[in-house]
Amino acid sequence: MSAGAARQGAAQALGAPALAMGATFLAFGAAVAEAGLSLGWALICTGAVYGMAGQLVLLQVAAGGGAALPATIAATAANARFLPMAVAIAPLLGRAGRRWWALPFIAITPWAAGMRVLPTLPEPARLPWFLGFALASWYVALLTTAAGHLAAPHLPAELRAALLFANPLYFCLLLAADARRPGVGPALLAGVLAAPLAYGLGGAWGLPLAGLVGGTLAFLWGRWR
């Protein structure tokens, strides 16, 4: 069952999720090349950070000649949203001793797919399915980062900017499809209302703080209802 579930997860990752995520990482690879940083830097950043908000913050600091420690702190803050995501999906991944394998791969695309699919699977198949999906997604991220870095001279700046929004748009469409599920609608509305806060604060802390405010409002609304 485990091998079959892992293959099933990988197969599902290599469809629409791979196209959406690949477009975003293609643009990231091109942006790294434009900043004058190496292909190795791009691959290490994608493989280790594996979160576009944190990667873009790290790229901005590195391209400006910033120090390593502030850059690492900024990237960590930008990806702080992965902590509540990990807490939410952890109960679906089985025993605590085994689900630690999934934590390095908690990112928007695997998380969104896991939250939709894992409750429908028998418990022994859940972690293998998630690891199959997540590893396939991770390899797609690495390959498209490399492709973007190599193809940078042929990608106009406007196209790169548009490609960066492909994966967030895909994620938004998934959420919109689940808007009628309990708690999803208020969370979407709270996120929209908190978006100006992220824009106003900017920097590494804008996104996690806006998420904290929006998520808290959605939680309080659900408790009140």
Q: Show pLDDT as tens, one digit a residue, over the chain (225 residues).
A: 578 889 999 999 998 889 888 989 999 999 999 999 999 999 999 998 888 878 888 888 887 766 666 667 766 766 777 888 888 899 898 776 788 888 888 888 899 899 889 999 998 899 999 999 999 999 999 999 999 999 988 888 888 878 877 777 777 777 776 667 766 777 777 777 887 877 777 655 677 777 788 888 888 887 787
Tokens standing for residue 74: 């900024």
* Whole-number Cα distances in Å, 205 to 25, 66, 145, 179: 22, 17, 25, 27
Q: What is the pTM of this model?
A: 0.79
Domain segments of the chain as ranges = 2-167, 178-225
